[in-house]
Amino acid sequence: MAANNRTTALARRRTEPAVERGIVSSHDRRRPSVRGSLGALQGGLLVTLVLVGLGPILWLAKAAVTPTQDTLREPLGLFPTGVDWANLSTAWSRAEIDHYFVNTLIVAVGAWFFQLLVATTGGYVLSVLRPRYGNVIFGLVLATLFVPSVVLLVPLYLTILDVPIVHVSLLNTFWAVWLPMGASAFNVLLVKRFFDGLPREIFEAARVDGAGPFRLLWSIVLPMSKPILGVVSVFAVIAAWKDYLWPLLVLPDPENQPLSVRLPAIAPYLELDVFLAALAISTVLPIALFLAFQRLFLSGAGLGGAVKG
Amino acid sequence: MKSAQKRAAFALVGVLSLAGTLTACGSSEDPAAEPTGPVTIEVSIDAGLEQAAIDAFDERIAQFEEANPDIQVETKEFTWSGTTFAAELAGGTLPDVFPIPFTDGRALIERGQIADVSDLVAELPYADQFNPTIAAAGQDADGAMWAVPIAAYNQGLHYNRRLFEEAGLDPDNPPATWDEVRAAAKTIADETGQAGYAHMTQSNTGGWILTTETYALGGRIVEGEGEEATATVDNDATVEALEMLREMRWEDNSMGASFLYDWGTINQDFAAGKIGMYVSGGANYPNLFTQNQMDPEEYGVTVLPLEGDDSGTLGGGTLAAVSSAASAAEQAAAVKWIDFYYISKLTDQEQAVAEAEVAAETDQPVGAPALPIFDRETYEQQQSWIKDLVNVPLENFAPMTDQMFDQPVIPEPAVATQDVYAALDPVVQAVLTDENADIDALLADAQTQVQGLLDRG
Amino acid sequence: MTTLSSPLRTTTPAQPPSSSGPRRRARRTPRDWLRDGGLSTLIIALPMILVFGVFSWFPIGRALVMSVQETNLVTTPEFVGLDNFVFVLQDPLLGKAVANTLWFALLALVFGYPLPLAAAVLMSEVRRMRGLFSALAYLPVVVPPVVAVLLWKFFYDPSGTGVFNTIAGWVGLGPYPWLQDASSAMPSLVLEATWAAAGGTVIIYLAALVGVRTELYEAAEVDGAGVWRKIWHVTLPQLRGVLFITLILQVIGTSQVFLEPFLFTGGGPNNATLTILMLIYDYAFGSSLGGNYGAATALSLMLAGVLAVLSAIYFRVTRPWSS
């Protein structure tokens, strides 16, 4: 049970200080030699993490407001001829980062909506309503877990060009990104397992009170499912923000492209300082989100690199 | 942006109404629409333009719409690229009028993937006046012109005049033999620390430039035509060209440190003053100026040195094609646009001046020389109409313009051109990044590959 | 460990607790179905059925069909048997792409496997500011991958004033060609990919380390074990499962690598960074005159076959933890 585990993990973390012990025992920790070397190692690790993890990002922040020639001649100098704030506004307007930023948001929000919609309704049907055809569908959904996305690249692309039954082309529409992202077996599974763990008695009681399936979903199940919805949301938004190859294929019109697709395309036409400013701007929001929802991100990451597959 | 917001709003609509809203997003045109009444066409505009260039384009659209009140023109950013064109073509996302390189014209025509506007084109007053070799790129086997040549180029040797001066070379007297190119490259590299001679290698451009160098040394990549076409990749001239690159790269160390250039990135580095010389289309200047903000005073261009029998300058160009999805009315409007925007400035004094005035007002290059698509006379006449408006340093183009009409122009390989170029990219990359690259072995491999491409047609 | 169990149980869908009466009825009329809320159930199931049907099941079926067809969207698709597979297997670039992809995977393991483990073990011993450590380690993962690649592409500037070459110059090394050389291009790609992904691995290990049963440390201490022996005999054995999972996931992930070679080098120099997915992309979208979709799908399916075996191992190995 994903979310239960998550909550227990969180609970455990909260109570950690009281019972915690690691490889080094509390007794050893009090020995100066152990404390010294452990401290040195951890200090070293901290410095390394700052240099490697934070360093490139800080460099980007610096380069974003440094004139091109300074960045080229002294890439590691600190503002040899001063700060050039205009880079940011030039990137924002001339490189139309604002436009592509909005596109990125649209892609992410839509992808989030459809992933959540499919995962919650799907998980609800499979776990709570359980129609007779449920097992077949569940099997089919599970089967897609074993199909790597690379297999779908070309046939899915051709499907987008001519959607079966309705025969329209979704190319250059955001639907082409949103809908395929909705077909995430991992999300359906995650949500279904969570719903499986909810107490059935509540559902029965609600049914006795005359709640139909829609009411039950909206008023009972969803409010109880905030933790898992949070996890799915984080995965959904991150995945949409990071995606490159798929939007590159289905959004060839620059008008609709998100930043990830647009940045490499405009790189040859931008002056270096403006380009680096554009990169920096594109990084701000994800980092801000991360800092704001750190715990959600980290517990989501701990929950499994399984999304990678 | 507006449509983007609209689509975002759609997201809030439940999935049940999906099918309904989807159709609203699909762009299905009825090709059999009546050829009367107002019509809207979508035309291409280069990617990544400066605001001034976009203003100039908009101004031309306004003029066109005034002359053709029934036609509305919308723009769509489009720059042809070998890796995305097929997808855009298949996806039907191309604008109604779009540029394609000469190399793709014949194949697209044979497969009927662009609109057959030959009847409309035939009515244009200058339809039979195109330079025949150039016209052929846009014609089907029977000589009907489906796509209109709008620009032609011969390859040129572009050089940075400032770097020439810094290296103590005379920018008005650029290299005239390949030995001089090599010597100048070494001087530039030694004196300025920048790349003396840089080479494109990526996205089919490596093959394009290698073919150019081969032609300049008297060789061919493919001999014969049609069914008879045979790969001759391992010819002596290509070996010589690669050998020269190897020496410049590994003995002179005059080719800089970047060996993964494509058309966009090499222009960028050249405009930024990091490259002394490189080979590219002779009409490259407007791109360098409008997309990469090159300083006009630093720009120089000359003809390629030609050595050996049968040597010549590789020439190609751009065709304006009309989308096969365009209705009859849109096709007619599209041809009018091609006539107005791309051609009339070359054949009609009034239009030539009007276009040049708009460009000059918005600080866009006027009068940058190019290979004429009609005869030399038409070209020189056109240049004389606008000579008062010319704002490019013509003297910097003199080494090119003084000599280009004396050089034989050789068209690009006719079959599967871009694929042939793609097969040659790794060869160039290998020579430039591996000191021990075996040129003969590389060419033998490429020879087999290219022959395979030709056999498949 | 517990945090990882959720995706792992998937092969054994839990049997629903026995259903209530009406569902067991042997014969049901459409009216019964309606009365039992069958229609609303179907409506609620519709988003899943439609989205999966159109964008997952249909394309999967289509992939199988396309792999035995010659199709380029222009001419009518034509059945060609196994020709596409033969074409792919005879392509001299295939061997190169497979070798490059394996090389990428191997390098990714060498760079990205032991270091996060060591970092996680060390971090698990941190008493204060563990949040800070985790945040710092995870930060690169948050940077959009395209931005990371474009930024590192600039870092890899081969001239003496490139960022990395300047740093190397401080200790008297370089300048290195980085991406501009067939032998160093791939390691450069992997270095960036590791930077971008290692934080996630660290967090996974860290989560797993929380679950290590600490009483075993005490038992080991009673036996007089030092720190290294405790790590070797207590910590690592308990992490065996998660180590194997990350290994498989990493191999599955790296076998589909595309972004780095596509944006860094375009597969060059001289195809030194051409990966399988790039080859698939080239088949399908590389030619301006129409894709070889059949060959692209055939290669995709072959890759999928290999990955399916790996996935099967993954699920097989992970099953014990879910029970």
Contact of C302 with A151, CB cutoff 8 Å: no
Contact of B96 with B341, CB cutoff 8 Å: no
Using the predicted structure, report yes or no on whether residue A40 has a pLDDT greater than 80.
yes
Q: Where are the domains of chain A?
A: 25-92, 96-269
Lowest mean pLDDT among A144-148, B134-138, C12-16: C12-16
Q: Is the dihedral of CA B134, B137, B143, B144 positive or negative?
A: negative
Instruction: Report the CATH architecture of A96-269.
Output: Orthogonal Bundle (1.10)
Q: Report the share of chain B in percent with pLDDT over 90.
A: 54
Alpha helices in A146-271 (DSSP H): 149-161, 175-182, 185-196, 200-208, 213-215, 226-242, 245-250, 259-266
B15 in C contact zone (CB under 8 Å): yes
Count each helix (H run) and each strand (E run) in chain C, helices first. Answer: 18, 2
Cross-strand bridge partners of residue B275: B195
Tokens at C239, concatenated:
């992490």
Q: Work out how many CB contacts closer than 8 A connect B with C.
A: 97
- Distance between CA atoms of C263 and B240, rounded to whole angstroms? 32
Residue A174: closest CA among chain B residues belongs to which residue?
B7
| B90 with A169: Cβ contact below 8 A | no
Q: Which of B4, B91, B93 sits opposite A106 (nearest CB)?
A: B4
| A183 with C51: Cβ contact below 8 A | yes
A169 in C contact zone (CB under 8 Å): no
Peptide bond into C269 cis (omega under 30): yes
B419 in C contact zone (CB under 8 Å): yes
Per-residue pLDDT reduced to its tens digit, C86-128: 999 998 899 999 999 999 999 998 888 888 888 888 888 887 7
Q: What is the pTM of this model?
A: 0.84
B68 in A contact zone (CB under 8 Å): no
C-alpha angle B320-B326-B329 in degrees, rounded to nearest 5: 100
Mean pLDDT throughout B53-80? 90
**What's the pLDDT at C140?**
93
On chain C, the residues whose CB falls within 8 A of the CB of A264 are: 146, 150, 263
C-alpha angle B100-B106-B110 in degrees, rounded to nearest 5: 120
Measure Cα distances from A18 to A14, A15, C155, C217, C220 in Å.
9, 6, 45, 17, 22
Residues 6+ apart with CB under 8 A from B19: A165, A166
Mean pLDDT throughout C311-322? 68
Tokens at C304, concatenated:
């999928």
Q: Does the domain at residues C88-322 carry the CATH identifier 1.10.1200.120?
A: no
Closest CA to C264 of A280, B258, B84: B258
Cross-strand bridge partners of residue B44: B76
| Domain housing B214 | 33-457
Closest CA to B419 of B185, B193, B221: B221
Using the predicted structure, report yes or no on whether residue A84 has a pLDDT greater than 80.
yes
Residues 6+ apart with CB under 8 A from C128: none
Q: Where are the domains of chain C?
A: 88-322
Distance from CA of A41 to the nearest CA of C (A): 8
Using the predicted structure, report yes or no on whether residue B176 has a pLDDT greater than 70.
yes
Measure Cα distances from C4 to A11, A123, A294, C7, C8 in Å.
16, 19, 19, 7, 7
| A106 with B76: Cβ contact below 8 A | no
User: Mean pLDDT for chain A?
Assistant: 83
Split into its structural domains, chain B has a count of: 1
Lowest mean pLDDT among A193-207, B89-103, B342-356, C28-42: C28-42
Mean pLDDT throughout A283-293? 87
Q: What is the CATH number of the domain that holds B124?
A: 3.40.190.10
Using the predicted structure, report yes or no on whether residue B3 has a pLDDT greater than 60.
no
Distance from CA of A200 to the nearest CA of B (A): 28
**Segment holding A70, helix H or strand E:** helix A68-73
Work out the pLDDT band at A60, boundaries 50, 70, 90.
Answer: very high
Contact of A160 with C59, CB cutoff 8 Å: no
Mean pLDDT throughout C27-55? 85
Using the predicted structure, report yes or no on whether residue A253 has a pLDDT greater than 50.
yes
On chain A, the residues whose CB falls within 8 A of the CB of B91 are: 161, 169, 171-172, 252
Mean pLDDT throughout C215-220? 82
**What's the pLDDT at A109?**
94
On chain B, the residues whose CB falls within 8 A of the CB of C175 are: 257
Distance from CA of A161 to the nearest CA of B (A): 6
Per-residue pLDDT reduced to its tens digit, A257-284: 999 999 998 888 888 889 999 999 989 8
Q: Report the share of chain B in percent with pLDDT over 70.
A: 91
Residue A36's identity, in one-letter code, is G
Work out the pLDDT band at C7, boundaries 50, 70, 90.
Answer: very low
Cross-strand bridge partners of residue B45: B77
Distance from CA of A250 to the nearest CA of B (A): 9
User: Looking at the domain assignment, is residue B7 inside a domain?
Assistant: no
Q: What subunits make at least 3 CB pairs under 8 angstroms with C? A: A, B
Measure Cα distances from B159 to B169, B174, B284 in Å.
11, 8, 12
User: Mean pLDDT for chain B?
Assistant: 86
Residue A165: closest CA among chain C residues belongs to which residue?
C54
- Give 3-state DSSP helix, strand, coil % of chain B, rounded to 5: 50, 15, 35
- Distance between CA atoms of A81 and B325, rounded to whole angstroms? 54
| C270 with B434: Cβ contact below 8 A | yes
- Distance between CA atoms of C121 and A57, rounded to whole angstroms? 25
Per-residue pLDDT reduced to its tens digit, A235-252: 888 888 888 999 998 888
3-state secondary structure of C4: helix
- Distance between CA atoms of B392 and B303, rounded to whole angstroms? 18
Using the predicted structure, report yes or no on whether residue C242 has a pLDDT greater than 90.
no
Q: What subunits make at least 3 CB pairs under 8 angstroms with A? A: B, C
Using the predicted structure, report yes or no on whether residue B35 has a pLDDT greater than 60.
no
Using the predicted structure, report yes or no on whether residue B14 has a pLDDT greater than 50.
no
| A268 with B48: Cβ contact below 8 A | yes
Q: Look at strands B71-77 and B39-45 and give their pairing.
A: parallel
| A76 with C163: Cβ contact below 8 A | yes
Residues 6+ apart with CB under 8 A from C27: none
**What's the pLDDT at C318?**
65
Residue C208: closest CA among chain A residues belongs to which residue?
A302
- Distance between CA atoms of B149 and B161, rounded to whole angstroms? 32
Residues 6+ apart with CB under 8 A from C239: C117, C205, C208, C209, C212
| C288 with B422: Cβ contact below 8 A | no
Per-residue pLDDT reduced to its tens digit, B374-427: 888 888 899 899 989 998 999 999 999 899 888 999 999 888 888 899 999 999
User: Looking at the domain assignment, is residue B14 inside a domain?
Assistant: no
Residue B321's identity, in one-letter code, is A
**What's the pLDDT at B28?**
38
User: Looking at the domain assignment, is residue B24 inside a domain?
Assistant: no
According to DSSP, residue C77 is labeled P
| B89 with C46: Cβ contact below 8 A | no
| A122 with C206: Cβ contact below 8 A | no
| A230 burial level (CB within 10 Å; 0-12, 13-18, 19+) | middle
- Distance between CA atoms of A261 and B161, rounded to whole angstroms? 35
A178 in B contact zone (CB under 8 Å): yes
Mean pLDDT throughout B348-373? 87
| C55 with A279: Cβ contact below 8 A | no
**What's the pLDDT at B33?**
40
Contact of A172 with A256, CB cutoff 8 Å: yes
Q: Which of C19, C60, C227 sits opposite A130 (nearest CB)?
A: C19
**What's the pLDDT at B133?**
83
Closest CA to A28 of C125, C237, C133, C232: C125
Phi, psi for A183 (deg, rounded to 5) = -80, 60
